[in-house]
Amino acid sequence: MQIEARAKINWALEITGLRPDGYHLLDGVMQPIALSDTLCIEKADTLSLTIEGSPLSAGEDNLIIRSARALQTFTNTHKGARIHLIKRIPMGAGLGGGSADAAAALKGLNTLWQLNLPMETLLAIGVKLGADIPFCLKDAPMRAQGIGEILTPTPCGRTFPLLLIQPCEGLSTKEIFTAYHQQNPMGGSVERVMEALKGGDLSMMEENAVNMLQTVSVLQKPVLQTAINSLYASGASFARMTGSGSVVFGVFERDSDARMAYEALKDQYPVCILTQTAL
């Protein structure tokens, strides 16, 4: 079988607290995008992983293998699979590529191994492996709260053309959260962001959407703000950093506007990807 593992963007990302175990409590809105990795899965006696398009480790530390092992342990199965990952989503980007791959593996192996586990069980397994995996399992516009496991479907009025830029290497999420506590930036209105997404209103989105990690990430990597400015200068109606970086995205009203921005910026930024939001 072949499964697409879609990347995501954060329209808004706010920090609302800190759990005793060190996990941050979040509130925000995420949406899948058309950019995806592909997992090709077939039956085999043992579990194995090969990777195309990335130097990622294919060993037991890979999140795909860890997800498969968690599924084996939960169901007490010894079935195997040959998994081949075609990697397109940039790494260290805030696009949720690793979580999307893990979610695709959980769904694919649940079918291949005929485990028939309900989505609620897959969500419970996934959240122990990574906070974004439940969202990637749902694979639809969502408000995400808690550590990312409390998901509320968010109506979305339309899709938008996107231009993704990765102007620097990946940032350390741990370091960014540490810096966040030293800055304590202001939030916006997640409810208004949801309303803007429902109505397809980028002006309302611009007024209310905040990624509270963006300010501290820009302090560490000013080129992030330079890239955001470039997106606005090239016609984006809305531009933000996704996750804790290092990708920033510009949202455009029309495909032709996004294409023009891509042509203007592709030589300046080696990682410059034209795509769109997805429902």
Q: Give the span between the Cα atoms of 163 and 168, in whole angstroms.
A: 16
Catalytic residue among 8, 107, 138, 221: 8
Is 132 part of the annotated catalytic residue set?
yes
1/126 Cα distance (integer angstroms): 21
201 is known as an active-site residue = no
Amino acid letter for position 113: W
Q: Give the HSE-up count for residue 113: Cα atoms under 13 Å, Cβ half-sphere.
A: 25
Q: CB neighbours (10 Å) of residue 148?
A: 24
Strands 161-165 and 272-276 turn out to be antiparallel
One-letter amino acid of 246: S
With 0-12 / 13-18 / 19 or more C-beta atoms within 10 angstroms meaning exposed / middle / buried, residue 256 is exposed
> Among 27, 37, 101, 132, which one carries the catalytic annotation?
132
Say if residues 109 and 41 touch (Cβ distance below 8 Å): yes
User: Which region, left, alpha or beta, applies to residue 111 given φ > 0 means left and ψ of -120 to 50 means alpha?
Assistant: alpha
Question: In whole angstroms, what is the distance from residue 239 CA to residue 157 CA?
Answer: 19
Residue 40 neighbours by CB under 8 Å, 6+ apart: 1, 2, 83, 84, 85, 86
Active site members: 8, 132
